[in-house]
Structure 1
Amino acid sequence: MGLFSFIKNAGAKVFGIGKTEAEEAAEAAEAKLKAEAAAAASLQETVADLQLQVENLNIHIAGDTATISGMAYNQATKEKVVLVVGNSNGIATVDDQMTVEHVEPEAQFHTVISGDTLGKIAKKYYGNAMKYPEIFEANKPMLTHPDKIYPGQVLRIPALN
């Protein structure tokens, strides 16, 4: 006996057993598209569950990029939808194509780092740590408690009136 060399995946072609690399790649691509569509549908359901007012909301995911379209009630709602989608597992970039019914000033965004608290963030942006409730309220319903923020999370920092 000895070592025999074969053409990889020839058995699938010759005997009809298994799948060719092209068939496996096509199935993997189809599974990826289905998973992206399911993730987009889940995010749309989450936005609806959070009672964020967006007409004709459409979320499309391709790889780690989500594209969002529709008409948000106001700027705050638009930014909250971007945060819901962007703070989701697997999403690195959000392409915001939404329009706004009631225009208002845009908020800033802050990515939480280890050791951050809403008080520290308020001090940085507003000069007053006691303004942390403004940030908490601006990020409801995604935030349920002022002490429950985590590194990597992106928060809305609205302009003070």
Structure 2
Amino acid sequence: MGLFTFIKNAGAKVFGIGKTNAEEAAEKTADAAAVKLKRETAAANKLKETISDLGLEVENLNVYISDDQATVTGAAFNQATKEKVVLVVGNSNGIATVDDQMTVENPEPEAQFHTVISGDTLGKIAKKFYGNAMKYPVIFEANKPMLKNPDLIYPGQVLRIPALD
């Protein structure tokens, strides 16, 4: 799929990405590179754990973080899983780009991505992409398990918009 761009500070702050004041101070010391590498490695490991916990099947999954870019490799079970992994990583606070280098075991058409803006609802997004606001459950289902509630989306979040069958 390639390189995807996200809004760096719009994502969930649950993966340990981004800096605390203490980490910023530590980076100014002589051990700044080691502190940075440790933080990035911990964040990458947390993302891998989250992807696994969400039940997204990727063989030989690897996430590497450098500054605000994440690189993801492995063999995803299908296209939807591959796209969801990119979204889990990209919708994390501190990540601005995701370099998707995953392969797909069961290829299928790629979905479109949509960045949520203020005032968006899944119904409005469904109306835009499908011409019918009542198709919002398609978008909701396509973004599970990252979305737990169709009413809880936020500006800057990137969503999968699959083609209708």
Whichever structure has more helix as a proportion of its residues is 1
Runs of 4+ in 1 over 6 A off after TM superposition: none
Distance in 1 (alpha carbons) for counterparts of 2:29 and 2:130: 52
Distance in 1 (alpha carbons) for counterparts of 2:159 and 2:30: 39
User: Is residue 80 of structure 2 the alignment partner of residue 66 of structure 1?
Assistant: no
User: Is residue 105 of structure 2 the alignment partner of residue 101 of structure 1?
Assistant: yes
Provide the residue aligned with 1:36 in structure 2: 40
**SS of corresponding position for 2:31:** helix
Aligned with 2:80 (options 33, 57, 76) = 76
Q: Which is greater in Rg?
A: 1
**SS of corresponding position for 1:125:** helix
Cα offset for 1:29? 1.0
Distance in 2 (alpha carbons) for counterparts of 1:26 and 1:54: 38
User: Is residue 55 of structure 2 the alignment partner of residue 55 of structure 1?
Assistant: no
Provide the residue aligned with 2:129 in structure 1: 125
Q: Which consecutive unaligned segments of at least 5 residues does structure 2 have?
A: 1-27
Between the two proteins, the alignment pairs up a number of residues equal to 138
TM-score of the pair, normalised by structure 2: 0.82
Q: Which amino acid aligns with 1:132?
A: Y
User: Is residue 27 of structure 2 the alignment partner of residue 27 of structure 1?
Assistant: no
Cα offset for 1:26? 3.9
TM-score of the pair, normalised by structure 1: 0.84
Aligned with 2:148 (options 144, 150, 153) = 144
User: Is residue 95 of structure 2 the alignment partner of residue 113 of structure 1?
Assistant: no
- Specify which structure has the bigger relative contact order, considering alpha-carbon pairs within 8 angstroms and separated by 6 or more residues: 2
Q: Which consecutive unaligned segments of at least 5 residues does structure 1 have?
A: 1-23
Cα offset for 1:25? 4.9
Cα offset for 1:109? 0.2
